[in-house]
Chain A
């Protein structure tokens, strides 16, 4: 398989202005402006092959989005080399921009005041898509994402889920070979998340597109990515198989309980590690292999109104990657070398 994305020692540093709060702080910052340099991405290296879907994980502020923005040419790196489809992204050459897309959950390409279809018409012209190809692709995207009823509505009247699906379809209208997806399911309900996930998988399957995906939802990553890269503090801490990451770093699941009557912390702790107890709601951390047994016992022995079994939040899993090790750089290095 050919390498589509090649990154060597990629860095991004920002100069940040510090200001104390309040009026006095504002006054001080006028007289004595203080800056510091923040390293958002501290020299990451990796390669991604054609058709791969890679989950790019990390806590908030880890450098995920900054990396995606450098790969898509939005930000100029402070150092290192990047090659995407043989292009240097920061040059923003037309042929490069025609071959990639970046979908950001919180940023939109759709014209807010117009019907969604107007933005599609504009992109058809910008990307110089012939009429018949445009009709075919729009039909295909509409079908895959169930957009038929949505396209002619003003964007501002769409629900968040409808808008996100339109954003995705719009970003893929020119059939890019490389997709950078930054939180594509953020804020969506469970059904909509699944629809978007299915769509991304189908697009990858149909067009052998290379996809880099960030998400705080473990389900997104599990459903789509076999390979994950974990970034923290601007450095790659893990690069390898997802199952291995979960098994190693998240050996427990969360049992979320709604109780019919209040229970003491001592009583709940008899079943598993009590993570949270808030009146009639509780969360237990249970070893993966004990989940069926513990859930059955809880249902049989306690007044349970509702029970849900969930993965630990992705941030906990990633957090564990570091908490469990005596020294962060060593741990990161050993994990990386272990999978490479």
Chain B
């Protein structure tokens, strides 16, 4: 019985992905514009590479030379681009204007459709993202520094980062059940992730006390941790702890989402619901 349910769920997922890849294809121009807007990590990379031109920059017992900065911020570029989320917008509109209603009528968790919508977009944009990523590494003469193992682990951490980003956005989006301005909270997630997650400054370069706090927050698990893996600055127990933090945040946030969702549904009352 469980096996049949799992197979059914897999068939639904396959069809959802097919459908949302097709939708993403129709919005390819919009995707291209979004990708142009996501070049900020590359701009920050250029600043740090220039700053490190005279010698490595040290902090907390580690140092970053210009090549390190190049790899780190190309990793930031890829993570940010692969984790672009618009679920706050979808939920805000869905809850306040009632567009959630058709999804609630289907015998399928609505979150599946929202997840598939984002994944469909990634499938379409991933080849271009990877192209830019590899080109960036080639131009900064750092491609040769990557190992197969680190690249594979980086890809794995990208999955964790995506899930954390998704659930944070989803939880914020669900606040639309209670408030009218959930959408206005979306930029905060971005600011927090850039400032506190290592999107502008590698976490290692913060003062030690602050760094120790930041490494436990979800923002570092989303951005800095994948960057550290690609840089090969992390290994052994620290690597396992990093993945454990990612998994912990995914579980905590998905449980939080479930709680908010259940409480919110009782309040679902949009005039156009």
Contacts and interface: CB of A to CB of B under 8 A. Distances in A.
B77 to A, nearest CB: 28
A75 B269 CA distance: 7
B268 A121 contact: no
A127 B108 CA distance: 9
Interface in A65-89: 69, 72-76
Contacts of A339: none
A203 B266 CA distance: 33
Interface stretch (B8-16, B197-205, B247-255): B8-16
A122 B107 contact: no
Contacts of B266: 76
Interface string B9-36: 0011011100100110011000000000
A118 B108 CA distance: 17
Given A74-B273, A97-B105, A113-B22, 9 more contacts: A73-B104, A74-B105, A76-B266, A101-B105, A118-B19, A118-B22, A121-B15, A122-B15, A126-B106
Nearest to A170: B102
A207 interface: no
Contacts of A76: 265-266, 268
Given A75-B269, A114-B22, A104 B107 contact: no
Nearest to A118: B19
8 contacts: A69-B101, A72-B105, A74-B105, A102-B101, A106-B272, A113-B26, A121-B15, A125-B15
B273 A122 contact: no
Interface residues of A, number: 30
Contacts of A92: 104
A109 interface: yes
Nearest to A110: B102
Interface of A: 14, 69, 72-76, 92, 94, 97-98, 100-102, 104, 106-109, 111, 113-114, 118, 121-123, 125-128
Contacts of B108: 126
Nearest to B15: A125
A107 B103 CA distance: 11
A122 B19 contact: yes
Interface residues of B, number: 26
B98 interface: yes
Contact of A74 (B11, B12, B99, B268): B268
Contact of B19 (A73, A97, A107, A114): A114
A128 B268 contact: no
A144 to B, nearest CB: 22
Contact of B102 (A73, A94, A107, A118): A107
Contact of A97 (B23, B107, B265, B273): B107
Given A76-B266, A125-B15, A94 B107 contact: yes
A23 B41 CA distance: 40
Task: Count chain A CB atoms within 10 A of each CB in B23, B102, B272 and give the residue with the most.
Answer: B102
Contacts of B26: 113-114
Contacts of B15: 121-122, 125-126
B268 A107 contact: no
Given A76-B268, A97-B106, A126-B12, A111 B101 contact: no
A65 B31 CA distance: 38
A126 B16 CA distance: 10
Task: Count chain B CB atoms within 10 A of each CB in A97, A98, A111, A125 and give the residue with the most.
Answer: A125
Nearest to B13: A125
B107 A102 contact: no
